[in-house]
Amino acid sequence: MKWIDLRSDTVTEPTEEMLDAMRSAIVGDDVYEDDPTVKLLEKKSAAILGKESSLFIPTGTFGNQLALLTHTNRGDEVIIPGSNHIVLYEVGAASVISGVQLRTLKDNLGQINLNELESLHRRKNIHFPKTGLICMENAHTSGTVVPIENMVKVYNYAKSKNIPVHLDGARIFNASIALNLKPDIIAKYSDSVMFCFSKGLCSPIGSILAGGKAFIRKARRNRKLMGGGMRQTGYIAAACLISLDKMANRLNEDHKNAKYLAKQLKKMKIFGIIRNRLDINMVFFKLEIRDFNEKKFINYLKKYKIKINPSYYGEFRFVTHYWITKEKIEFLISIIKKYIKESRTV
Q: Is residue 319 close enough to count as binding ligand PLP by CB under 6 A?
A: no
Q: Is residue 59 close enough to count as binding ligand PLP by CB under 6 A?
A: yes
**Could you say which of 27, 163, 170, 208 contacts ligand PLP (CB under 6 A)?**
170
Q: How many CB atoms are located within 10 Å of the residue 71 CB?
A: 25
Q: Is residue 45 close enough to count as binding ligand PLP by CB under 6 A?
A: no
C-alpha span between 44 and 184 (Å, rounded): 12
Compare residues 93 and 181 and give the one whose CB is closer to ligand PLP: 93
Contacts (CB under 6 A) with ligand PLP, residues 72-101:
85
Spell out, one character per residue from 178 to 207, where the chain touches ligand PLP: x when CB under 6 A holds, - when not.
------------------x-x--------x
C-alpha span between 185 and 195 (Å, rounded): 15
How does DSSP classify residue 58?
Answer: S
Q: Which residues contact 313 (CB under 8 A, 6 or more apart)?
A: none
Report the nearest approach of ligand PLP to the CB of residue 240 (Å).
Answer: 13
Report the nearest approach of ligand PLP to the CB of residue 8 (Å).
Answer: 8
What is the four-CA torsion angle of 276, 279, 281, 284, rounded to 10 degrees?
Answer: -10
Strand order in the sheet with 53-57: 53-57, 207-211, 192-196, 165-168, 131-137, 77-81, 101-105
Question: Of 27-35, 60-68, 150-158, 312-320, which part binds ligand PLP (CB under 6 A)?
Answer: 60-68
Compare residues 18 and 172 and give the one whose CB is closer to ligand PLP: 172
Q: Is residue 141 close enough to count as binding ligand PLP by CB under 6 A?
A: yes
Compare residues 251 and 336 and give the one whose CB is closer to ligand PLP: 251
How many CA atoms, within 13 angstroms, populate the side-chain half-sphere of residue 7?
Answer: 14
Residue 30, sorted as left (phi over 0), alpha (psi -120 to 50) or beta, turns out to be alpha
Which residues of the shown chain bind ligand PLP in the complex (CB under 6 A)?
59-61, 64, 85, 137, 141, 168, 170, 196, 198, 207
